[in-house]
Amino acid sequence: MVNVNPTIRTCLVFYSTQTLLTWEIPEQWKLMVLDATFRGVVSMGDVAHSLGLSHSVHVINSAIVNFESLVPITNQEIQAEDILFDGVHVRVYHPPGREQKLRRAVMFIHGGGWALGAPKLGSYDSLCRQMAADLDAVVVTVDYRMAPDVHFPVQYEECVQAAKHFLNPEVLAKYSVDPERVAVCGDSAGGNLAAAVAQRIGIDNRTSVKFKLQVLIYPVLQALDFNTASYQQNHNVPILYRRLMARFWLEYLDADPDLVHSIMMNKHTAQDQSLLSLNRSKLNWTNLLPKRVIKHYKPVFPLTGSPSILKDVPALLDSRAAPLLASDEVLRTAPRAYIMTGEHDVLRDDGMMYARRLELAGVSVTNDHYEDGFHGCVSFAFWPLHFSVGIRAVHNYIAWLDEHL
């Protein structure tokens, strides 16, 4: 447990009692300090936005970049090359002596609500270097453009472009990559993009090389139900709160931010919404989730809602934005999957529902669930936080890749 200044401890004790101490999360004081810092940055961004000084996302991302710049570079023997793949910025990591043999490869897509993150710095750089070193593999991280500068489907399309370019046999040969041993991986919003890219590559008959595996780390996969069992259980658990996730979705889809309360109440998916008739079964968590995680929670769908939301934001029903909504036919073409979920994460049920739907479509799935897991723990496995659950999670998913890729 990290040592915390007594003054800070006193000031935050009520907050911690209400949010953290209810849950069996290890290293709670460390997580509390991290969360309080992040909340402060978000509040600063909101103030700057309300004053017309800067978009809130730009303020938050600036703070993230400044922090990540302090993280020391690890595995310095791994070579890094910044390059364009079909006009999309990527960084290619490869171990020394790459031309001596064919290697495995992982395409990594970073998270951050499609709006935040520094894929070439700090924790993401450390993670990609560790994958390259531990797997003796080529790792490509996609530096896609983010909201609010661009919105859906730009992030998705740029990841598809980069993937198609990398899977070109001539490009794989350039990097000495075995075309039968390529995986796609992503965390959070990056897990969303990785799942969507895997679906797109799977159904694309013009792409001869396919991904062998997909690794989805606490992915966000739908925006039609903000009251799944995990959303209800973890709505106020750090560091991804239900309201923040709803804000990320509205920003990504270029929708009115004032809709945040309505979608949190599921008014866009009320029982009178006929546009949902083909999709309700795809996220019926009472059927798709194991009873042990449903617990006492019940679905929350108002009798009447706001029909204009789905009409004004049609991307809410687009499987490119919400991979959980893909048809069974599309899912059958998806590669073998590893899906990491955390008990104390609002997105737990997104990952578990997708795992079950893939299984029902005939896809082999490993759902690695962490009872002490929370959102973002993989990123916090590195300096200066070193969360134990994050360290275990990184080790385990890389070990799974090592065994199956």
Residues with catalytic annotation?
188, 345, 375
* Cα–Cα distance list, 314 to 44, 133, 160, 349, 366 (Å): 31, 42, 21, 23, 32
- The verdict on whether omega for the bond into residue 153 sits within 30 degrees of 0, i.e. cis, is yes
Contacts with 373 (C-beta within 8 Å, 6 or more apart), sequence order: 218, 340, 341, 342, 343, 344, 345, 389, 393
**Residue 257: how many CB atoms within 10 A of its CB?**
11
In this structure, the strands spanning 336-344 and 365-374 are parallel
Residues 44, 42: Cα–Cα separation, whole Å: 5
Assigned token pair, 34? 């991290």
Backbone angles phi, psi at 398, to 5 degrees: -70, -35
How would DSSP label each residue in 289-316? S-HHHHTT------SS--THHHHH-GGG
Residue whose structure tokens are 């009472």: 286
Looking at residue 165, the DSSP 8-state letter turns out to be: H
Residue type (1 letter), 62: S
